Amino acid sequence: MNEAAARTAVVEAARELERLGLNQGTAGNVGVRVPAGVLVTPTGMAPARLRPDDVVLLDAAGTPAPGQRRPTSEWRIHVDVMAARSDVHAVVHTHSPEATAAACLGQPLPAAHYVVARTGGPAVPCAPYATYGTPELSANVVGALGAGGACLMANHGLLAVGPDLDAAVALALDVEWLARVVRLARSHGQPLRVLPDDEIARVAERFGTYGQPS
């Protein structure tokens, strides 16, 4: 994807996250890898106001090119995740209600449903809390994410990654749904039945051939 197309895709993804109820106002942020570095949403701008020229290009060190808007306060996470993971080309960070509520427990989101296999592991890990926008938070997120596709951010929100923005947004929606299912299941007053790791591994393998051939 060239830079012009990527800028448009970032704006569209930010608006889609708001339309889906995964973000509201100026919460959350979006990033995508491009040949020149990483494009991220600007800080403090609602998706409805965004235009492709507002999206900020960062180099490998996280430095914005001159004359641009200020990047999201969580720019470090986008740069650091993509530096650590060559397979990741898109990152979305949300403050979606169900996932954020689960993150406030500071615990992994368990495999109450096999959809957790879409995240690449038997549970959605939770990164320890650190102040937003800090190197400590970015390091915590990179560590918790590991080789997976998503992690909670304690008392903060959710991070989902993917090979492109459509995949990252879809995964964020899956985790939000899973968090709601876990909450509803626990509301019935019975112990939560968690699927075993080997079953999640089987489901992950089956997901590899799910859907129509490309």
Cite the active site residues: 74
**Helical axes 165-186 vs 3-19, angle rounded to 10°:** 20
Separation CA 39–CA 4 (nearest Å):
10
User: 152 near 99, Cβ under 8 Å?
Assistant: yes
Q: Which residues contact 167 (CB under 8 A, 6 or more apart)?
A: 90
Sign of the torsion angle spanned by Cα atoms 166, 128, 125, 137: positive
Cα 145 from Cα 130, distance rounded (Å): 15
| Single-letter residue type at 133 | G
Token pair 């102040």 is found at 131
Tell me the residue type at 62.
Answer: G
- Using CA atoms, how far apart are residues 109 and 179, in angstroms rounded to an integer? 7
Rounded Cα distance, 78 and 32, in Å:
8
Residue 132: C-alpha distances to residues 7, 11, 41, 72 (Å): 24, 22, 16, 11
